[in-house]
Amino acid sequence: MSTDAVAKRIQPVRPAPNVYDAEPIPEAARAEIDRLLASGDLFRYTAPEGAPVARLEAEFAEYMGVRYALAVSSCSAALFLALRALDLQPGAKVLVPAFTFAAVPSAVVHANCVPVLVEVGEDLRIDMADFRAKLADGAQAALISHMRGHTSDMDAIMAACDALGVPVIEDAAHSLGTRWDGRKIGTIGKIGCFSFQSYKLVNAGEGGMFITDDPEIAARAVIMSGAYEHNWKKHPGLQNSFHLWQNKLPLYNMRMQNLSAAVIRPQIPLIEDRVASGRANHDYVAARLGASPWMAVPPALAKEERAPDSLQFLLRGFDSDEEARAFQAAADRRGVSVQVFGLSRDNARAFWNWQFLGDLPELPKTRAMLMRAGDLRLPARLKRGDLDFIADALLAAAAEVKDG
């Protein structure tokens, strides 16, 4: 046996953890999916009552502690319906953090409104001075994207918006299970929107949820989501509001179908466990990276209880893009691929790539953050050995570039 082979037997190389796979679908979904396939009952409004989508809405509303939940085809659809349900006039200015996913300003454009991008600081949170200035400049709604699950100062945001009577929509696509001052994220603004796209805490491939306590907003959203004719009778409560809006609103057909609900429902009872494991995994890796002078993980705000399934960190003292790229390459060689938002071409989270908006503002704080913020998926199912593998790789990569 060659010395190489002996070394391999003594020290087996641990494979890099797979962080890309989505959450597996619970076995319990199968029987219901088989039943739906056998009956062909896939449309949410066919059954007189008890359709899987309607049950999911009731269960989600109960989990969130809100009066109304509407299941839709994606979080982007929920954001669009939220803007339409608020009856914003064409051309209305809507504040959006400049650190978000391209689909968020796109939903604003889709609703015929104008996104106003707000600076985000190196703590990955909304810059409140810029927010207040742009709010005072005639904004008619604020769409607060809790990007990568990072919660901005919701007390400050709500106080500023309430003072001017400006409604807040929460994009909680990536914040299911996060709390602010004990309250569930998505229930603080007038409307909360969630995603069940595969890379979120609950995986249905695609899907979204719209929640609110406001009966008029709920009724408008239900009709516009595609409850044509009298299908709204299959949504509990709200009957007077529905009569008011019947035939007065366009039907955008953004409904969820029963198969998606069958995939989502058995995952609802798993949310709290996934949140606890995700948070423990995140905090473990964050503490290990904190030992390096070259990386900083933004801490949670005092009132924030996070539910992370990914980790973001700032590269510190990396003066050039070349150095940051060398770090990425060094981590890659160790089996861990780190995205730096601003360094990859055509990144959908880098605001300068949102050319569909026309003239883009210069946002130096957000740009500086994006050029040095590393992004890493950290799904709840990872084990301690996986987490150490990732932390070891990042620490060694940073040391290789900065300490030589």
Ligand X SMILES: *Cc1c(COP(=O)(O)O)cnc(C)c1O
Residue pair 207/73 in contact by the 8 Å Cβ criterion: yes
Phi-psi region of 115 (alpha: psi -120 to 50; beta: other; left: phi over 0): beta
Q: Residues 100 to 129: which contact ligand X by CB under 6 A?
A: 100-101, 103-104
Question: By CB under 6 A, is residue 255 in contact with ligand X?
Answer: no
Pick the closer one to ligand X by CB: 74 or 366: 74
Q: Are strands 168-171 and 139-145 parallel, antiparallel or unpaired?
A: parallel
Determine the interface stretch with ligand X among 96-104, 134-142, 251-259, 299-307 (rule: CB under 6 A).
96-104
* Shorter beta-carbon distance to ligand X: residue 79 or 301: 79
Is residue 197 within the footprint of ligand X (CB under 6 A)? yes
Piece of the chain touching ligand X by CB under 6 A; list 1-9, 29-37, 116-124, 168-176: 168-176
Which among 98-106, 211-219, 227-235, 345-353 is the span making contact with ligand X, rule CB under 6 A? 98-106
Regarding 174 and contact with ligand X (CB under 6 A), the answer is: yes
Answer yes or no whether residue 167 interacts with ligand X by CB under 6 A.
no
Task: Confirm if 336 and 393 have CB atoms less than 8 A apart.
Answer: yes
Closest CB 90 distance from ligand X, rounded Å? 23
Under 8 Å between Cβ of 340 and 331: no
CA angle 371, 375, 380 (to 5 degrees): 170
Query: Which residues lie across from 169 on neighbouring strands?
Result: 143, 191
Q: In terms of DSSP bridges, do strands 304-305 and 295-296 run parallel, antiparallel, or are they unpaired?
A: unpaired
CB-nearer residue toward ligand X: 145 or 212? 145
Per CB under 6 A, 350 contacts ligand X: no
Please tell me what DSSP assigns to residue 313.
Answer: E
User: Considering just the CA atoms, what is the radius of gyration of the chain in Å?
Assistant: 23
CB of 140 to ligand X, least distance (A): 20
Nearer to ligand X, 174 or 306 (CB): 174
The reply to whether 147 sits near ligand X by the rule CB under 6 A is yes
Bridge-partner residues for 210, per DSSP? 70, 193
Residue 96: φ, ψ to 5° = -140, 135
Q: How far is the CB of 143 from ligand X (least distance, A)?
A: 10
Task: Find the helix or strand (DSSP H, E) in which 136 lies.
Answer: helix 128-136
CB of 40 to ligand X, least distance (A): 26
Q: Which is nearer to ligand X, 75 or 363 (CB)?
A: 75
Classify the C-alpha dihedral 221-225-226-231 as positive or negative: negative
Q: Considering only residues 201 through 220, tell me which ones interact with ligand X, judged by CB under 6 A.
A: 208
Tokens 């669009």 correspond to: 80
Residues 48-77 that bind ligand X (CB under 6 A): 74-76
Q: Which residues bind ligand X (CB under 6 A)?
A: 74-76, 100-101, 103-104, 145, 147, 171, 173-174, 195, 197, 208
